[in-house]
C-alpha cells in the first residue's frame, strides 16, 4: 500500500520473522538507516512496518533490502 503526501510516500511492508520488541527495533533501525527515509515505525504484533520516504532518494527495493540485511523477510 502506498500513499503520497506532499512529495513523500508511505508504504506498509509485511515483515516475517519478527517475534519480539528487539526484532522490531532492529528492523526499525535498518529502515531508518536508508537514505531518504523520513520515518519508520514497526508493529511486531501486526508484523508490519510503516515507512515514509522521499521518492527518488529511496525506493521500495531499498527498504526491502534493508529489512533483509537485518535478517528478516518481506512478504511480496
**pLDDT of 37:** 97
Q: How far apart are the first and last CA of the chain?
A: 11
What does pTM read for this prediction? 0.88
The string of pLDDT tens digits covering residues 26-69 is 999 999 999 999 999 999 999 999 999 999 999 999 999 999 99
**pLDDT of 8:** 87
Alpha carbons 12 and 59: distance in angstroms, whole number: 13
Domain boundaries, the chain: 15-48+56-75
CATH 3.20.20.210 given to domain 15-48+56-75: no
**pLDDT of 76:** 77
**C-alpha cell recorded at residue 38:** 523520513
Amino acid at each position: 500500500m502506498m500513499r503520497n503526501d506532499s512529495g513523500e510516500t508511505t508504504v506498509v511492508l509485511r515483515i516475517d520473522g519478527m517475534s519480539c520488541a528487539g526484532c522490531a527495533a532492529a528492523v526499525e533501525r535498518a529502515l531508518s538507516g536508508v537514505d531518504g527515509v523520513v520515518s519508520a515505525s514497526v508493529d511486531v504484533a501486526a508484523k508490519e512496518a510503516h515507512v515514509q520516504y522521499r521518492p527518488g532518494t529511496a525506493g521500495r527495493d531499498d527498504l526491502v533490502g534493508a529489512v533483509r540485511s537485518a535478517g528478516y523477510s518481506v512478504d511480496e
